[in-house]
Structure 1
Amino acid sequence: MAPRVLVSDALSESAVQIFRDRGIDVDFQPKLGKDKDKLAEIIGQYDGLAIRSATKVTEKIIAAATNLKVIARAGIGVDNVDIPAASKKGIIVMNTPFGNSITTAEHAIAMMFAVARQIPEANASTHAGKWEKAKFMGVELFNKTLGVIGAGNIGGIVCDRAVGLKMKVIAYDPFLSEERAKQLGVTKVELDELLARADFITLHVPMTDKTRNILSRENLAKTKKGVRIVNCARGGLIDEDALAEMLTAGHIAGAALDVFAVEPATESPLFNLPNVVCTPHLGASTTEAQENVALQVAEQMSDYLLTGAVQNALNMPSVTAEEAAVMGPWIALAKHLGTFAGQLTEEPIRAINVLYDGTAAEMNLKALDCAVISGVMKFSNPDVNMVSAPIVARERGIQISTTHQEKSGSFAGYIKITIVTDKRERSLAGTVFSDGKPRFIQIKGINIDAEIGEHMLYTTNEDVPGIIGLLGMTMGKNGVNIANFTLGRSGSGEEAIALLYLDEAIDPKVVDTLNQTGMFRQVRPLKFEIA
């Protein structure tokens, strides 16, 4: 019996035809996604669900999806899918992460031209029968300095286009290697230098705790007078109130925004300012981009339903059904090791080296590699998954190397990762015990035995008396319960580490309190995704 797929949002006829051509029984109902009750009523009949943004795949819909095997989003954003609920039920969630890249980059360049030459205002004036030639004095892009915040996939395309326009391009991206910067023809700088030098600033970073409000009032004040700012990435990256004030005061010459902190944006302090260009989140809105992601999603779903091949999955590795049963805990361990290293590493990563020992060396190393890389990259790019992570790493010039060896120690097998930057090498190792639970067994060459929890705290210090008491007392005074407490040291009086498994996320104020004692070299809260 042929697999059945429901298309509940507007997808091109070409994409729907791909399903038919490959023997899939496709039901094309492009308006159904807006009727959640009807969708819940019929979803149990289908093996696959193809959507865009209108369909909300809630926990209720997933509960009713008794036969559903795959949900595929034509586009990158999956905020409209309850991924944890889908994962729990064994439903794969896919997206198409790179189909919109060129379109979004081109929109950023178009917005830059628009704000530089005041095209929208001049257009409105001319349509009104005015001829205000002297009013609309613009600036050239040629020979201007463009500051690119975030030089990943889309940001890298913007860099390439800007170099072609003969702009001087500088980029701030903690994960951009010098080699990749040279390939792009840009100069890598720190954020403060970019703010001080750039004539134009364009943002191309995801929304994370580190990037939220990256152009804060304080950082906007550091910009060069007369700067023009473009944001086609995510709302919330800029303090919109501060931006409006500085535009009105004349410190910032202009701004062009495709995204806003609250969307749909029906009101904003930026609206109606003469030096601001606004569009309604059009970054991915081209015929080519919409067609590309539609065709891609049809191919991916067909491949999975007919052959079991998995592409661009957000909640599972690219492994066979037979491998998944054995590899599940090891994939979790690989992700945890990468996540640990990614949260500790703030400078550009040059290389990720992975060693597989014993039992681990006998598994699907490609899938384990992807798990490690996705863990490392997750905190700089929340949209990354096990399929896209190697692509993102390659774009940033990160070298990936793996080695495997026969059993060499007391464990049946283990995974060790080493992160290489210009400043240091950082190594972590872990294993899976017989109970199927991953454990950290070594940090910076120091042997430990640490259970892994969702919320953890990592500290390093000189091995002196009083550290255990200080940590325990500080946690107790602030109402933080310690589920597990692991210690290790390289030698008496030498470097010591502590890894605390906490019942809840630690308040930044508690971290500040520990740092202010002067007893610690490093105090770092950690967060892990625990299935």
Structure 2
Amino acid sequence: MTIKVLIGDSLAPGAIDIFKARGIEVDVKVGLSQPELAEIIGEYDGLAVRSACKPNADVIAAATKLKVIGRAGIGVDNVDIPAATKKGVVVMNTPFGNAVTTAEHAIAMLFAAARQIPAASARTQNGEWPKKDYVGTELFSKTLGLIGAGNIGSLVAERARGIKMKVIAFDPFLTEERAVELGIEKVELDALLARADAITLHTPLTDQTRNILSRENLEKTKKGVIIVNCARGGLVDEEALKDLLDNGHVSAAALDVFETEPAKEHPLFGTPGFIATPHLGASTVEAQDNVAFQVAEQMADYLLTGAVTNALNMPSISAEEAPRLKPFAELAEKLGEFAGQVSTEGFDAVEIDYEGDVCELNRKPLTSAALAGILRASMKDVNMVSAPSILKDRGIDLKETTVEESATYESLIRIKVRVDGKWRTVSGSIVNGQARIVAVKEMTLDAKFRPFILFINNTDKPGFIGGLGSVLGDAGINIATFNLGREEEGGDAIAMIGIDQDIPKETMDKINALSQVRYAKVLRF
């Protein structure tokens, strides 16, 4: 079956070559409106974009085959990630492909603002010699405040320290150990505003970061501060920034991004001390090629091998991990399907235990697979991508545990769901390369997964097997496998009967009417 990818924005031609070299069919259709994109997206398994193409909820809803959206760049504001997650579409970006380029642009803007190079250049080339009008600010020994110290922020810090600036940073996710490693000081936002001689922003636009340099916060800064934003529009109150440039509180500002783009007209334009570039942070030949090649490789890897790199809504799975994880992911998903089908009346907690060698693997994808299986019994169109967010939205507790050694198996996965305060438990392992059910309700057995399994919880009393066999025989239901487990003689017991076809309701009624049967259900895998 042919895999098809749509490239919805201009990418380096080498990206197309990467897809084609790996046997993936590629269409390039740039400049589509959202309705136009929605009309054709159903044909494609993958969508590669930069920032102009905007796959919104309507586009994603129409994407019946879509498995992955790849953003050639860092910001994914143009992609409706919640809609993609609910649809089960992996969203990837390329956080490292243009990091150096963006960091260098921020440093260039900082120098340009400190020395007012663009204005001085324009007037000099206009025949003036305005030497006395441009007494700049030396950056040596000054304090640079970073809002965001992730990948790009850390590169800016490294370069700022290279010119002997002191660097402080506000970032809730920055650990003290990482700050020491970077040679910077971690501070709260108010302390950064009060101490920084220059502030650069390196954070995505979220509900928490929107307008982080509000009028109130800009007014808390040191008089003469320099503001640089090469991250995302919307982080700075642009109207307040103009007012503070006009009154001299902010000495200079340099923006590469704006709240509304393209910003062809803006109140800041022409303001003394203000520098603007048209979203050039990632615009170098090297960066454009890097992100295009990287997103093509990532998307191809996922579509062909299941490897997940730089995903924003799913755990990463390396190409080396994927083959080793695959059997355990299938086991986890099937165990989840078992647990979900015997808990359709509702559950409020899930526990997943890993024992043995499986503990050494990347377990996040396994947990996602198990949750997909659990939820699939009561929901359609749920997969590894959407399952964790659905579970969270429902307020269902999730707990994971690991035990480095398993008493019986090299690896074991146990899934427990809590229904009305009681736990329903199923365990499985890989035996001779096959996924097997090895315990239910802590009663041991050894059962293969089959498309149809008749699961029965019964009392261990004579006549059960004969009575059940008669009912199935009378209905023409063929038994493929038969596995039993029990707590003790005459006590609680289970039966797992692999059957070749589904069982009609009238036959199930007869099975449930057997005196030894407490619970019976056909499970479908």
- Shorter-chain TM range is 0.5 to 0.7
Aligned pairs (5 A) from 1:452-463: none
* Alpha-carbon separation, structure 2, partners of 1:93 and 1:217: 34
Match of 1:241 in 2: 239
The answer to whether the Cα contact below 8 Å between 1:327 and 1:363 also exists between their aligned partners in 2 is no
* Alpha-carbon separation, structure 2, partners of 1:148 and 1:316: 28
Match of 1:8 in 2: 8
Aligned pairs (5 A) from 1:216-235: 216-235=214-233
The answer to whether the Cα contact below 8 Å between 1:4 and 1:24 also exists between their aligned partners in 2 is yes
Match of 2:159 in 1: 161
1:146 partnered with 2:144: yes
The answer to whether the Cα contact below 8 Å between 1:357 and 1:405 also exists between their aligned partners in 2 is no
Instruction: Note closer, same or farther for the CA distance 1:216–1:80 as it changes in structure 2 (3 Å cut).
Output: closer
Instruction: Note closer, same or farther for the CA distance 1:150–1:69 as it changes in structure 2 (3 Å cut).
Output: closer
Instruction: Note closer, same or farther for the CA distance 1:264–1:182 as it changes in structure 2 (3 Å cut).
Output: same
Match of 2:492 in 1: none
Aligned pairs (5 A) from 1:34-433: 34-36=32-34, 38-317=36-315, 318=317, 320=326, 322=330, 325=333, 357=353, 366-368=362-364, 404=403, 432-433=417-418
Deviations 1:310-333 (A, max 9, x none): 22233333464625625879xxxx
The answer to whether the Cα contact below 8 Å between 2:167 and 2:185 also exists between their aligned partners in 1 is yes
How far residue 196 of structure 1 moved from its aligned partner, in angstroms, is: 2.3
Instruction: State the AA in 1 paired with 2:362.
Output: K
Q: CA RMSD in A?
A: 3.7
Instruction: Note closer, same or farther for the CA distance 1:128–1:12 as it changes in structure 2 (3 Å cut).
Output: same
Deviations 1:232-267 (A, max 9, x none): 122232222222222211122111111223333344
How far residue 16 of structure 1 moved from its aligned partner, in angstroms, is: 1.0
More divergent stretch after superposition (276-285 vs 205-214):
205-214
How far residue 437 of structure 1 moved from its aligned partner, in angstroms, is: 13
The answer to whether the Cα contact below 8 Å between 1:146 and 1:201 also exists between their aligned partners in 2 is yes
SS at match of 2:23: coil
SS at match of 1:49: strand
How far residue 434 of structure 1 moved from its aligned partner, in angstroms, is: 5.7
SS at match of 1:124: helix
The answer to whether the Cα contact below 8 Å between 2:332 and 2:366 also exists between their aligned partners in 1 is no
The answer to whether the Cα contact below 8 Å between 1:361 and 1:413 also exists between their aligned partners in 2 is no
Instruction: Note closer, same or farther for the CA distance 1:267–1:37 as it changes in structure 2 (3 Å cut).
Output: closer
In structure 2, runs of 5+ residues without a counterpart are: 318-324, 338-350, 369-383, 386-399, 424-525
Number of aligned positions between the proteins: 368
* Alpha-carbon separation, structure 2, partners of 1:328 and 1:286: 47
The answer to whether the Cα contact below 8 Å between 2:246 and 2:272 also exists between their aligned partners in 1 is no
How far residue 47 of structure 1 moved from its aligned partner, in angstroms, is: 2.6
SS at match of 2:362: helix
The answer to whether the Cα contact below 8 Å between 2:227 and 2:254 also exists between their aligned partners in 1 is yes
* Alpha-carbon separation, structure 1, partners of 2:139 and 2:6: 47
How far residue 86 of structure 1 moved from its aligned partner, in angstroms, is: 3.5
Deviations 1:337-374 (A, max 9, x none): xxxxxxxxxxxxxxxxxx975679967862439989xx
* Alpha-carbon separation, structure 2, partners of 1:38 and 1:126: 49
* Alpha-carbon separation, structure 2, partners of 1:25 and 1:249: 57
Instruction: Note closer, same or farther for the CA distance 1:328–1:133 as it changes in structure 2 (3 Å cut).
Output: farther
Instruction: State the AA in 2 paired with 1:322.
Output: E
The answer to whether the Cα contact below 8 Å between 1:356 and 1:404 also exists between their aligned partners in 2 is no
How far residue 15 of structure 1 moved from its aligned partner, in angstroms, is: 1.3
* Alpha-carbon separation, structure 2, partners of 1:35 and 1:190: 42
SS at match of 2:118: helix
How far residue 36 of structure 1 moved from its aligned partner, in angstroms, is: 4.7
The answer to whether the Cα contact below 8 Å between 2:355 and 2:403 also exists between their aligned partners in 1 is no
The answer to whether the Cα contact below 8 Å between 2:145 and 2:198 also exists between their aligned partners in 1 is yes
How far residue 197 of structure 1 moved from its aligned partner, in angstroms, is: 2.2
Instruction: Note closer, same or farther for the CA distance 1:407–1:189 as it changes in structure 2 (3 Å cut).
Output: same
* Alpha-carbon separation, structure 1, partners of 2:116 and 2:140: 16
Instruction: Note closer, same or farther for the CA distance 1:40–1:250 as it changes in structure 2 (3 Å cut).
Output: closer
Deviations 1:365-411 (A, max 9, x none): 62439989xxxxxxxxxxxx99xxxxxxxxxxxxxx99536899xxx
Percentage identity across paired residues of the two chains: 63
* Alpha-carbon separation, structure 1, partners of 2:422 and 2:105: 47
* Alpha-carbon separation, structure 2, partners of 1:252 and 1:360: 60
* Alpha-carbon separation, structure 2, partners of 1:168 and 1:74: 33
Match of 2:20 in 1: 20
Instruction: Note closer, same or farther for the CA distance 1:17–1:119 as it changes in structure 2 (3 Å cut).
Output: same
Instruction: Note closer, same or farther for the CA distance 1:328–1:104 as it changes in structure 2 (3 Å cut).
Output: farther
SS at match of 2:119: helix
Instruction: State the AA in 2 paired with 1:120.
Output: P
Name the TM-score, length of structure 1 as normaliser: 0.61
The answer to whether the Cα contact below 8 Å between 2:352 and 2:367 also exists between their aligned partners in 1 is no
SS at match of 2:144: strand
Instruction: Note closer, same or farther for the CA distance 1:435–1:5 as it changes in structure 2 (3 Å cut).
Output: farther
Instruction: Note closer, same or farther for the CA distance 1:30–1:286 as it changes in structure 2 (3 Å cut).
Output: farther
* Alpha-carbon separation, structure 2, partners of 1:360 and 1:268: 61
SS at match of 2:254: strand
More divergent stretch after superposition (60-69 vs 126-135):
60-69
The answer to whether the Cα contact below 8 Å between 1:361 and 1:406 also exists between their aligned partners in 2 is yes
Instruction: State the AA in 2 paired with 1:15.
Output: A
Instruction: Note closer, same or farther for the CA distance 1:217–1:50 as it changes in structure 2 (3 Å cut).
Output: closer
How far residue 213 of structure 1 moved from its aligned partner, in angstroms, is: 2.5
Name the TM-score, length of structure 2 as normaliser: 0.62
How far residue 187 of structure 1 moved from its aligned partner, in angstroms, is: 2.1
SS at match of 1:433: strand
* Alpha-carbon separation, structure 1, partners of 2:250 and 2:422: 54
* Alpha-carbon separation, structure 1, partners of 2:286 and 2:118: 24
Instruction: Note closer, same or farther for the CA distance 1:229–1:67 as it changes in structure 2 (3 Å cut).
Output: closer
- Structure label with greater radius of gyration: 2
How far residue 43 of structure 1 moved from its aligned partner, in angstroms, is: 3.4
SS at match of 1:34: coil
* Alpha-carbon separation, structure 1, partners of 2:36 and 2:239: 42
Instruction: Note closer, same or farther for the CA distance 1:157–1:55 as it changes in structure 2 (3 Å cut).
Output: same
The answer to whether the Cα contact below 8 Å between 1:407 and 1:413 also exists between their aligned partners in 2 is no
